[in-house]
A = this chain, B = another copy of it.
Amino acid sequence: MSNKIRISIAGANDFKIFELVDSFHDDNISFDLFGVDKPEYHFWSNVSYIEADSDEEAVRLAVNDVLNGANVIFKGLVQTHTILKEVLKKEYGLVQKKLLSHVSIIEISALNRPVLLTDAAMNIDPDIDQERLIIENAIDVAHSIGIKSPKVSLLSSAENFNPKMPSSVKAKDLTEYYQDKKIDAIVYGPLSLDISLSKEIAEEKKFTGPIQGDADVLVVPNIDVGNVLYKSLTMFANAKVGGIIVGTKVPIVLTSRGDSLENKILSLKFALKTI
């Protein structure tokens, strides 16, 4: 019984959530659903539904559920900021890292491995100290999903250092910072997206650095770069994606209303791998 995984869903009164829960039918997983108005779906035995008066209460119940042993929070039909506001309250003690950040997992058929992307959804324009915390959160996630020494690419527009380009300056400083650190990861930049992900282009450009098309983690210089990359891959490259917030006691799965069931499932599976 104690090895069971408990997933807490805030904002659960929706058919898409029913479909999600139904697709995880597994005796080792149980779901605690919290939402306004109880739906009429027939859930299986390991699913409980508790009605709340408001989204805020549904979120409060879901967060309290973590204090009682739930392993993951899944954002259903509530606003991201409603969840974050509750999670960040000091009395819960849920924040474990110095900075919370968003990590996406991206699966593209042209690549033979998943790639992590951070931070495409939470930190807007991180300075070098914040970027360091974002990188370390992502390395922890990479380790937890089985990538022993992740190759972390610090994205910029090219692989050449350009003092006039802020992303390039930040990447160079971070690369130097991590050079002497004993971490199970290779952190390198500035690097273009193509050298990060294409062995052929890395060869064509005669790039000799430590990442040659085999990046495991893409770190973007600001949220706009991450957002546009995430969206272009999902809209036009048939990428499957999932996303979580990390740095808290349990991962918080963040999917948006418009996400497909497939992407919601991938997000939750990704979160489960990180616990």
Chain A positions near chain B (C-beta within 8 angstroms): 108, 110, 124-125, 155-158, 162, 164-167, 192-194, 197-198, 201, 204-205, 220-225, 227-229, 231-233, 235-237, 239, 257-258
Q: Which residue of B lies closest to A167 (CB)?
A: B224
Give the docked Cα–Cα distance between A165 and B165 (Å).
19
| B201 pairs with A258, CB closer than 8 A | yes
- Chain B neighbourhood of A225, CB < 8 A: 222, 224-225, 228
Shortest A120–chain B CB gap in Å is 8
Evaluate contact between B110 and A231: CB separation under 8 angstroms. no
Given contacts A125-B165, A156-B224, A229-B232, 4 further A-B contacts (CB under 8 A): A165-B224, A192-B231, A193-B231, A224-B225
Q: CA–CA, A108 to B235, complex, Å?
A: 11
With both chains docked as a complex, state the minimum distance between the C-beta of A214 and any C-beta of chain B, in angstroms: 15
Known: A204-B258, A222-B222, A258-B204. A237 touches B227 (CB 8 A): no
Q: Please, which residues of chain B bring their CB within 8 A of the CB of A193?
A: 227-228, 231-232, 235
Residues of B within 8 A of A220 (CB): 224, 228
Q: A227: which B residues are within 8 A, CB to CB?
A: 157-158, 192-193
Q: Which residues from chain B contact A198 at a C-beta distance below 8 Å?
A: 235
